[in-house]
């Protein structure tokens, strides 16, 4: 939203007009898509349909430049002009508060290992079937977590970000919502956020159900309605189904690699894989309770054995046919994260041809993209819309 987005929407010609029609059709009845009426009935009128297209989503903030999931990363993404901020991968504390971390294991994203008073908390747990060693948020009270400071998660790729290690606390979801409200007042326009519920099945088994906690906090701040500027996402479809009954917010099912199964499916014995969910029947099922999908970019354009992009799949067309928007993840500037045919040199922290990669993905008709580099995404969108 905002001036830049409004100007782009006002052009009404060329690629922008076509893409705008696509997203309107995904959320409403403009294109007469089969899933549109269902989405409109459940969470209709949501302002997500008026976001610029392709929507540039600051992935964990501007995490290409600041340690992820910190108020510093969120603020920078907003200042850069990101349309939406992924403010919050939500995980619970021991005393039931929701905090923003990429994973419940915080050894890689905080200075917890430097705190001798917490040395005894280090442990090994099975997280979605994988043995994981470290420190976990559910073993700390909020007061204890507030003594820690965030640090860069991938310093080999982003050594410059280590300058900011130790600068910011772990934010709570409530702090993020208060920050969002403050920024909305200051800027005179809605600030959109896009929290993710992490590992709902894992936490439900611990008696720390996420969906109810998220809904309660959103209700407290008046942010649980269909017009609220908060999009909710999760890799577990059953978590999104629960949210569908608890809140009016637009909902998005995240999708990993084609051969994987959502962990809630593993737990319940559902044999379907992501490959099944991206087929028309699977997409129709998702459209019965959600407004969009967040697929990995490889589900949009697969790579060959050398890591080069190949031919796009039909996922964009098939999802739009069911009234679903698509917000794939994740675009990053650094060479190791780009398709091989867009890399330049071999430096792990060196930038490749990110603009070329953005253009290629935008050309598939996706409705938006998560990116660690919102400034690059916005310039790439400008090039694509005007080109």
Q: At 47, list the tokens.
A: 């302002």
Average pLDDT of the chain, as a whole number: 90
Kindly give the pairing relationship between strand 251-255 and strand 232-234. parallel
- Confirm if 372 and 60 have CB atoms less than 8 A apart: yes
pLDDT, mean of residues 142-148: 98
Comparing 38-47, 261-270, 334-343, the range with the smallest average pLDDT is: 38-47
pLDDT for the residue 117: 98
For 252, which DSSP code? E
Please determine, for residue 166, whether its predicted confidence score (pLDDT) is greater than 60.
Answer: yes
- Is the bond preceding residue 330 a cis peptide, omega within 30 degrees? yes
Residue 45: which pLDDT band, with cuts at 50, 70 and 90? low
Note the maximum CA span of the chain: 61
Please determine, for residue 215, whether its predicted confidence score (pLDDT) is greater than 70.
Answer: yes
Percent with pLDDT over 90 in the chain: 86
pLDDT, mean of residues 191-214: 98
pLDDT for the residue 357: 98
Comparing 39-53, 106-120, 309-323, 329-343, the range with the smallest average pLDDT is: 39-53
| Distance of alpha carbon 210 from alpha carbon 240, whole angstroms | 11
pLDDT for the residue 30: 27
pLDDT in tens, 217-273: 999 999 999 999 999 999 999 999 999 999 999 999 999 999 999 999 999 999 999
pLDDT for the residue 4: 32
| Distance of alpha carbon 237 from alpha carbon 285, whole angstroms | 10
Please determine, for residue 3, whether its predicted confidence score (pLDDT) is greater than 90.
Answer: no
| Distance of alpha carbon 317 from alpha carbon 252, whole angstroms | 17
Residue 126: which pLDDT band, with cuts at 50, 70 and 90? very high
pLDDT in tens, 286-300: 999 999 999 999 999
Q: Which has more confidence, 143 or 3?
A: 143
Q: Where in the chain are the domains? A: 55-104+173-386
Residue 241 neighbours by CB under 8 Å, 6+ apart = 289
pLDDT for the residue 47: 83
Element holding 218 (H helix, E strand): helix 210-220
Please tell me the pTM assigned to this model.
0.89
Q: At 342, list the tokens.
A: 């867009």
pLDDT, mean of residues 194-209: 98
In CATH terms, the fold of domain 55-104+173-386 is: TIM Barrel (3.20.20)
pLDDT for the residue 41: 54
Please determine, for residue 46, whether its predicted confidence score (pLDDT) is greater than 70.
Answer: no
Closest Cα to residue 85, out of 115, 63, 110?
A: 63
Percent with pLDDT over 70 in the chain: 88
pLDDT for the residue 5: 33
| Distance of alpha carbon 83 from alpha carbon 182, whole angstroms | 16
Residue 156 burial (C-beta neighbours within 10 Å; 0-12, 13-18, 19+) = exposed
Residue 9: which pLDDT band, with cuts at 50, 70 and 90? very low
- Confirm if 265 and 272 have CB atoms less than 8 A apart: yes
Please determine, for residue 24, whether its predicted confidence score (pLDDT) is greater than 90.
Answer: no
pLDDT, mean of residues 174-186: 98
């Amino acid at each position: 939203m905002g001036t830049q987005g409004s100007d782009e929407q006002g052009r009404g010609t060329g690629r922008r007009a076509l893409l705008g029609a696509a997203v309107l059709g995904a959320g409403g009845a403009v294109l007469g898509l089969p899933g549109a009426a269902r989405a409109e009935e459940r969470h209709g009128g949501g302002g997500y349909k008026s976001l610029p297209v392709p929507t540039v989503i600051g992935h964990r903030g501007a995490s290409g430049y600041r340690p992820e999931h910190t108020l510093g990363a969120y603020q920078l993404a907003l200042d850069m002009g990101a349309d939406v901020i992924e403010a919050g991968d939500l995980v619970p504390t021991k005393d039931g508060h929701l905090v923003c971390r990429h994973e419940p294991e915080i050894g890689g994203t905080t200075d917890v290992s430097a705190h001798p008073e917490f040395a005894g908390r280090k442990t090994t747990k099975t997280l979605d079937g994988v043995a994981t060693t470290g420190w976990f948020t559910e073993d700390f009270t909020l007061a204890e977590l507030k003594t820690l400071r965030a640090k860069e998660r991938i310093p080999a790729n982003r050594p410059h970000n280590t300058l900011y290690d130790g600068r910011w606390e772990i934010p709570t979801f409530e702090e993020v919502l208060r920050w969002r409200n403050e920024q909305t007042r200051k800027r005179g326009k809605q600030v959109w956020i896009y929290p993710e519920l992490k590992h709902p099945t894992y936490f439900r088994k611990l008696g720390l159900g996420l969906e109810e906690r998220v809904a309660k906090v959103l209700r407290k701040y008046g942010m649980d309605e269909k017009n609220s500027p908060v999009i909710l996402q999760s890799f577990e479809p059953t978590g999104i189904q629960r949210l569908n009954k608890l809140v009016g917010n637009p909902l998005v099912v995240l999708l990993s690699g084609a051969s994987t199964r959502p962990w809630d499916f593993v737990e319940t014995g559902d044999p379907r894989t992501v490959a099944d969910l991206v087929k028309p029947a699977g997409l129709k099922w998702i459209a019965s309770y959600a407004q969009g999908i967040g697929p990995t970019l490889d589900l949009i354009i697969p790579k060959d054995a050398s890591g080069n992009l190949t031919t796009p799949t039909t996922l964009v067309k098939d999802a739009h046919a069911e009234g679903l928007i698509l917000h794939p993840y994740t675009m990053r500037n650094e060479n190791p994260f780009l398709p091989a045919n867009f890399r330049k040199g071999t430096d792990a922290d060196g930038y490749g041809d990110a603009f070329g990669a953005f253009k290629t993905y935008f050309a598939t008709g996706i409705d938006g993209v998560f990116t660690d580099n919102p400034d690059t995404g916005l310039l790439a969108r400008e090039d694509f819309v005007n080109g």
